[in-house]
């Protein structure tokens, strides 16, 4: 019914109206991409934050001269023992120097002799249970085992990530709001142009007894129909973009960038949610803007 409808006004013939589906498609696509990017980055930040908050990193300074890098470090066992009865502490994983070197490779490059450097020993302390370990206590115990040990509970990271996620989401919302405003402006322009073109016909409709709402509804339905067509185009574009991003995401190096590990259905949901939201939003904005614009203009006519 929305796609095929009889209009008393020849709105289909308006030049300006013909552009509306394409402009709406572009705007909807941009808005959906902004929203999806905001959502994806939000999810990513949340996962990242969850990841870092589930562990505490302890750096034991390198042993002094003469100690072989790959020899057994007695401080590891002492640290395990010191942490054993600390509430909130789960498994303690000690990375050997080779593992630490591998973690540094993406930044320092392979074959640069990272393994020859005096590297600190890295302990990853898993957080267990609902209560996080007392970081101050943990720091004291590690200091006793290895003076100068660095304990990082990633608190700063977590706060930064949360702040970043909030800013990204807010920015994405702001972008969507701007795009919606631009979409509304396009509709206002197209509707005003239609009103000017069909002024005589509108006057005839008025004179034979049409209410403002009768005329405004025709513009509203017509504009919503154009927005619907634009929305469909944007959904197709969005699907193609997601397919591209899905494959691009699979090839990301997880040591450099946190991966957005989503199931295919989650990818669909990630694209469909903003797509459908923007689609419905654009239809609503277009229809309501058209109706309001027409009613305001008609109020100045006979």
Partner 1 sequence: MSGGGAFVRFEQVGFSYGDGPEVLHDVSFDLEPGTFHFLTGPSGAGKTSLLKLLYLAQRQTRGAIRLFGRDTASLSRLEAPVVRRRIGVVFQDFRLLPHLSAFDNVALPLRVASVGEAQIRQHVGELLAWVGLADALDARPATLSGGEQQRLAIARAVVARPDLLVADEPTGNVDDHNAQRMMRLFQNAHHYGATVVVATHNAALVERYNYPQLHLEAGKLSILPAAGSA
Interacting residue ranges for partner 1, rule: CB under 8 A? 6, 8, 10, 13, 200-201, 203-212, 214, 299, 302
Nearest distance from residue 247's CB to partner 1, in Å? 49
Kindly tell me which of 12 and 50 has the beta carbon lying closer to partner 1.
12
Kindly tell me which of 9 and 142 has the beta carbon lying closer to partner 1.
9
Nearest distance from residue 298's CB to partner 1, in Å? 8
Closest Cα to residue 139, out of 79, 204, 213?
79
Nearest distance from residue 205's CB to partner 1, in Å? 7
Kindly tell me which of 247 and 300 has the beta carbon lying closer to partner 1.
300
Q: For the chain, list the strands marked E by DSSP.
A: 55-60, 89-95, 121-127, 150-152
Nearest distance from residue 8's CB to partner 1, in Å? 6
Contact 132, 153 (CB under 8 A): yes
Kindly tell me which of 58 and 195 has the beta carbon lying closer to partner 1.
195
What are the beta bridge partners of residue 24? none
- Residue 101 tokens, joined: 């070197």
Burial of residue 85, with CB atoms counted within 10 A of its CB: 0-12 exposed, 13-18 middle, 19 or more buried? exposed
Kindly tell me which of 131 and 300 has the beta carbon lying closer to partner 1.
300
DSSP-derived secondary structure for 275-301: HHHHHHHHHHHHHHHHHHHHHHHHTT-
Nearest distance from residue 17's CB to partner 1, in Å? 14
Map tokens 């394409």 to a residue.
22
Kindly tell me which of 126 and 211 has the beta carbon lying closer to partner 1.
211
Burial of residue 188, with CB atoms counted within 10 A of its CB: 0-12 exposed, 13-18 middle, 19 or more buried? middle
| Packed helices 212-250 and 264-298: angle between N→C axes, nearest 10 degrees | 160
Kindly tell me which of 218 and 234 has the beta carbon lying closer to partner 1.
218
What are the beta bridge partners of residue 92? 125
- Residue 243 tokens, joined: 């397919």
Map tokens 């990633």 to a residue.
154
Question: CA-to-CA distance for 21 and 23, rounded, in angstroms?
Answer: 6
Nearest distance from residue 266's CB to partner 1, in Å? 48
Question: CA-to-CA distance for 53 and 126, rounded, in angstroms?
Answer: 9
Nearest distance from residue 278's CB to partner 1, in Å? 33
Kindly tell me which of 68 and 299 has the beta carbon lying closer to partner 1.
299
Nearest distance from residue 295's CB to partner 1, in Å? 10
Question: CA-to-CA distance for 278 and 202, rounded, in angstroms?
Answer: 32
């Amino acid at each position: 019914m929305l796609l095929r409808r009889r209009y008393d006004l020849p709105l289909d013939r308006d030049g300006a109206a013909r552009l509306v589906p394409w402009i709406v498609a572009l705007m909807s696509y941009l808005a959906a991409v902004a929203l999806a990017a905001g959502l994806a980055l939000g999810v990513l930040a949340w996962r990242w934050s969850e990841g870092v908050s589930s562990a505490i990193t302890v750096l034991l300074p390198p042993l002094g001269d003469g100690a072989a890098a790959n020899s057994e470090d007695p401080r590891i066992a002492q640290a395990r023992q010191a942490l054993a009865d600390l509430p909130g502490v789960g498994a303690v994983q000690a990375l050997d120097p080779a593992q630490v070197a591998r973690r540094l490779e993406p930044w320092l490059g392979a074959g640069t002799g990272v393994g020859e450097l005096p590297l600190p020993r890295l302990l990853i302390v898993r957080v267990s249970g609902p209560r996080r370990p007392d970081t101050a206590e943990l720091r004291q115990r590690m200091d006793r085992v290895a003076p100068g040990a660095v304990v990082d509970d990633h608190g700063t990271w977590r706060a930064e990530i949360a702040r970043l996620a909030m800013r990204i989401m807010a920015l994405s919302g702001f972008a969507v709001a701007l795009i919606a405003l631009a979409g509304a402006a396009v509709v206002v322009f197209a509707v005003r142009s239609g009103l000017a073109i069909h002024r005589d016909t509108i006057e005839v409709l008025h004179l034979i007894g049409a209410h403002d709402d009768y005329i405004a509804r025709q513009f509203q339905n017509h504009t919503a129909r154009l927005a619907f067509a634009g929305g469909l185009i944007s959904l197709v574009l969005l699907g193609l973009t997601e397919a591209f991003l899905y494959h691009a995401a699979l090839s990301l190096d997880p040591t450099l960038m946190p991966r957005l590990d989503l199931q295919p259905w989650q990818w669909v949901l990630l694209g469909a949610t903003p797509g459908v939201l923007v689609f419905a939003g654009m239809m609503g904005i277009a229809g309501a803007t058209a109706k309001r614009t027409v009613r305001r203009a008609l109020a100045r006519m006979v």
